[in-house]
Amino acid sequence: MDALILQTAASGAPVTAVAGTFALFALFLSLTAHIAVRNVLGDVELKKAFAVGPVPAAIAVVFTTFGWNSFVALALAIGLDFTLVKYLYGRSNRLSAYVVFIHFVVTVILGFVLFGLLVILTSAPL
């Protein structure tokens, strides 16, 4: 709770940084969700992926802000991801679980690639 109080007590910059981080992470997770669903189910609506992405991003931001257990956050995010995929796309439990697994794999791989590119670009000599 102290971290949240400190962020709101300071100038608007930390709150803006948290909001920007949440928005970018939600957009990234929406993109990876769409990639995963499209690879498993075929042609699907893009707008459904924008409903999936913000939920795990919100869980990550809240759990990080309060310093709660990251394994609980991961389990909760995967569980809610499964629930949203099942509800939005109307598939069986097995197929929804497969989509969530592919979403997790795509997110990890694309995250590593983008983070690696960021590290390479920021460490390059001027």
Domain count, the chain: 1
Please provide the average confidence, as pLDDT, over all residues in the chain.
Answer: 88
Q: Which residue has the higher pLDDT, 100 or 17?
A: 100
Lowest mean pLDDT among 7-21, 25-39, 41-55, 104-118: 7-21
Q: Which residue has the higher pLDDT, 122 or 17?
A: 122
Question: In this predicted structure, what is the pLDDT of residue 45?
Answer: 87
Q: Cα 3 vs. chain centroid, distance in angstroms?
A: 21
Over the stretch 43-100, which tens digit does the pLDDT of each residue have?
888 888 899 999 999 999 999 989 999 999 999 999 999 999 999 998 999 999 999 9
Over residues 102-122, the mean pLDDT reads 94
**Domain range enclosing 22:** 2-123
As a three-state string, the secondary structure of 71-114 is HHHHHHHHHHHHHHHHHHHCCCHHHHHHHHHHHHHHHHHHHHHH
